[in-house]
Amino acid sequence: MASLGWVDVHHDTRSVIGPLVTYETHYGFGGTDVVVTADTLRFMNRVELARFLADAGFVDLAWYGDWDRSAIGPTNPEIMVVAG
């Protein structure tokens, strides 16, 4: 497959309303062709996320603070959950 060249990617935050963050991702191909996508993320704390998962029927939850499955804590602020 022939090389298609570099892709320039950047994100622009459009709004933050409570737990909702709306942003655009800009993909530039070859300097002239640009594709823009929009997304909204909803941020939840652990209590809200546990309730949301329980309401969806998940009962077996494993909580982690990072991709390496370390514990949630001040040095691992992410919330990773494996739900079954």
Residues 6+ apart with CB under 8 A from 51: none
**Confidence (pLDDT) at 84:** 85
| Spatial distance between the Cα atoms of 27 and 10, rounded to a whole number of angstroms | 7
**Confidence (pLDDT) at 31:** 66
Residue 1 has pLDDT above 70, yes or no: no
pLDDT in tens, 10-52: 999 999 999 999 999 999 987 678 999 999 999 998 999 999 9
**Confidence (pLDDT) at 19:** 95
pLDDT in tens, 58-77: 999 999 999 999 998 888 87
Q: Are strands 80-83 and 61-64 parallel, antiparallel or unpaired?
A: antiparallel
